[in-house]
Amino acid sequence: MVAWYPITPSTSLIEATTDLLKKFRVTPEGKATFAVVQAEDELAAIGMVLGAGWAGARAMTSTSGPGISLMAEFSGLGYYAEIPGVIFDVQRTGPSTGMPTRTQQSDLLSTAFLSHGDTRHPVLLPGSMKECFEFGYAAFDLAERMQTPVFVLTDLDLGMNNWMSEQFVYPEKPLDRGKVLTAEELEKLGSFSRYRDVDGDAIGWRTLPGTAHPKAAYFTRGSGHNDAAGYTERPEEYQAVMERLARKFERARTMVPAPVEYRNGKAKIGFLAYGSTDFALRESLDQIEKEHGLSADYMRIRAFPFAHEIHDFVASHERVYVVEQNRDAQMASLLKLDLAAEQVVKLRSILHYNGLPIDARTITEEFRTKEGL
């Protein structure tokens, strides 16, 4: 199920998706095995995604900055009520309306913590056309496995421009539909509690509407609930659910796409980057080596929460440059929240945020200035 509201530069993604669905998701009888709904706004778009995810269908929406802001309240519901859904954010230049036809990586912090209260979301950061394809289906597996909204952040450069790409590889693994109890399984168990951590993985079992068992139903709510999905204002019951949600998010470090290490020659200086910054940074690293005789290491971050390898990478370098396309060093800020205090001081930022895609020379010059070369 796809629900969306037109917004530059994410409309291309939906239009391409719709064309492919019409081509490949129609039965021999001519019936659609999908639904695409142009919603009245982004609030409705994500509402439809969560409604469909709750009822058991894989559901997605695609949007850009202003739409992300409108999806804030529902994102918190998805997190707290534990409902799968996938939100693609083809980032454009903010803040506010900004420059809709220009690119940026400036929605990272707002998507990672989208909504009020203690809320956090897995964010996938594809860095190429091929990864946009791969993270496309990985996001649905992750959303259903973790029972939570998953954000996939591309940007206008990846989302609208033409690219050379490696061939996409057909996925061999079956879909991971997550922990769903059938009527037969429920009959054996006798009963279930929607939010109880019975397997020690911080993820409860869910039933889908229509499961033909008198004990299959549960009450989904965004209000305080206990592990049996009952309304609660009891401190210990509320806190138990919040603590489990934190454990679940912690586990996601190993469930999201791992970072890619391009160079690790045990250099003193390391680089971290993500998304479409990759190409410019790789070229810049060649420039730095050629022009300054300096070899630096590079790890590309592909998701939040951060994998342990990212911590190790920072720990094993003297200085780490975080290169990104926004003014406020959003990735560096997010890293600072996660790293140990003695590691935080190693971070330096190279920032580019004029709306045009980042280029190698900008990175090289900024690095040269900062290093005093």
Partner 1 sequence: MATATASGAAGPKLNHIGLPIVEYRGGKSTLCAGCGHNAISERIIDAMFEMGVEPERVMKMSGIGCSSKSPAYFMNRSFSFNSVHGRMPSITTGAVLANSTMKALGISGDGDTASIGMGQFVHLLRRNLPMIYIIEDNGVYGLTKGQFSATADIGSRLKTGVINDLPPIDTCALAIQLGATFVGRSFSGDKKQLLSMLKAAIAHKGTVLLDVISPCVTFNDHEGSTKSYKFLQDHDEPINEVGFVASFDDIEVDYDSGQVYDVEMHDGSQLRLRKLLEDYDPTDKANAVRTLMEAQEKDEILTGVFYIDTQKPTFLDQLNMVDEPLATLPESLTRPPKSALESLMANLQ
Among 126, 125, 123, 128, smallest CA distance to 161 is for 128
- Contact flags string 195-234 toward partner 1, x per CB under 8 A: ------------xxxxxxxx-xxxxxxxx-------x---
Q: Does 191 bind partner 1 (CB under 8 A)?
A: no
Task: Say which residue the tokens 């160079």 belong to.
Answer: 263
* HSE-up of residue 113 (Cα within 13 Å, Cβ side): 10
Kindly state the smallest distance separating residue 149's Cβ from partner 1, in Å: 13
Stretch that binds partner 1, among 41-49, 102-110, 272-280, 352-360 (CB under 8 A): 41-49
Q: Exactly one of 15, 55, 187, 289 binds partner 1 (CB under 8 A); which one?
A: 55
Instruction: Specify the residue, 35 or 189, whose C-beta has the smaller distance to partner 1.
Output: 35
Instruction: Specify the residue, 28 or 372, whose C-beta has the smaller distance to partner 1.
Output: 28
Q: Does 37 bind partner 1 (CB under 8 A)?
A: yes
Q: Does 6 bind partner 1 (CB under 8 A)?
A: no
User: Angle at the Cα of 48 (from 14 to 181), degrees rounded to 5?
Assistant: 110
Q: Exactly one of 15, 35, 198, 373 binds partner 1 (CB under 8 A); which one?
A: 35
Neighbours of 159 (CB within 10 A): 23
Kindly state the smallest distance separating residue 17's Cβ from partner 1, in Å: 13
Q: Does 189 bind partner 1 (CB under 8 A)?
A: no
Residues 6+ apart with CB under 8 A from 81: 54, 220, 221, 222
Q: Does 43 bind partner 1 (CB under 8 A)?
A: yes
Stretch that binds partner 1, among 51-59, 235-243, 259-267, 299-307 (CB under 8 A): 51-59
- Taking the C-alpha atoms of residue 98 and residue 326, their distance in angstroms, rounded to an integer, is 13
Instruction: Specify the residue, 51 or 98, whose C-beta has the smaller distance to partner 1.
Output: 51
Note the Cα 5 to chain centre separation in Å: 19
- What is the dihedral sign for C-alpha 358, 362, 364, 370? negative
Q: Exactly one of 14, 59, 123, 139 binds partner 1 (CB under 8 A); which one?
A: 59
Look up residue 55 and give its DSSP letter: T
> Dihedral through CA 286, CA 288, CA 294, CA 298, nearest 10?
-60
Helix (H) or strand (E) holding 269: strand 269-274
Instruction: Specify the residue, 100 or 222, whose C-beta has the smaller distance to partner 1.
Output: 222
Kindly state the smallest distance separating residue 2's Cβ from partner 1, in Å: 10
Q: Exactly one of 14, 39, 60, 280 binds partner 1 (CB under 8 A); which one?
A: 39
Q: Does 25 bind partner 1 (CB under 8 A)?
A: yes
> In angstroms, how far is the first alpha carbon of the chain from the final one?
53
User: Angle at the Cα of 51 (from 49 to 255), degrees rounded to 5?
Assistant: 60
Chain residues that interact with partner 1, rule: CB under 8 A: 1, 3, 20, 24-25, 27, 30-37, 39-41, 43-59, 73-74, 77, 165, 167-168, 170-171, 174-175, 207-214, 216-223, 231
